[in-house]
Amino acid sequence: MTQHQNERTRIRAAMDRLLTGQATVSNGSLTITALAVEADVHRMALMKRHADLKNEFYERVRTETQQVPETEKRLRETVTKLRQTVANQKAEIEELRQQVTRLTLASAALTQQQIYSVPAKSESGNVVPMRRPES
């Protein structure tokens, strides 16, 4: 038996032990890390060389234990948080757009008011009347 086949045999045996709750070496959690420890295989070897067994393990976790794998739970939580962040940002952007519209209208109104409130020019053309300081 080659080393590759030996690893696959150990991984499958470790899967069975973990799924029946009879872990001997690992902490018994239904994760790839625990599977690698239980099978005495490097985790990256399990992820790269034996990706089909990793997928098989996750599928068995779903079907045999009616549980969602821990990594999927974390991803779902992250997706939920990100969706909430996006919703908050969309609301903030909409609020800022409305504020820009209100400020634009206020600026236009003030500009219009300023145009109509300019006093008539004196005859000299470049003389601007000074206001008296209020006491």
Residues 89, 103, single domain; the answer is yes
In a domain, 135, yes or no: no
Same domain flag for 8 and 62: yes
Residue 122 lies in a domain: no
Q: By C-alpha distance, which of 43, 44, 47, 35 is closest to 10?
A: 35
**How large a percentage of the chain has pLDDT more than 90?**
39
Q: Tell how many helices (H) and how many strands (E) occur in the chain.
A: 5, 0
Task: Give 25-81 as a DSSP string.
Answer: SS---SSHHHHHHHHT--HHHHHHTTHHHHHHHHHHHHHHH----HHHHHHHHHHHH
Chain centroid to CA 105: 37
pLDDT single digits (tens) 121-134: 555 667 777 777 77
Domain of 80, in residue numbers: 70-112
The pLDDT score that the predictor gives to residue 29 is 84
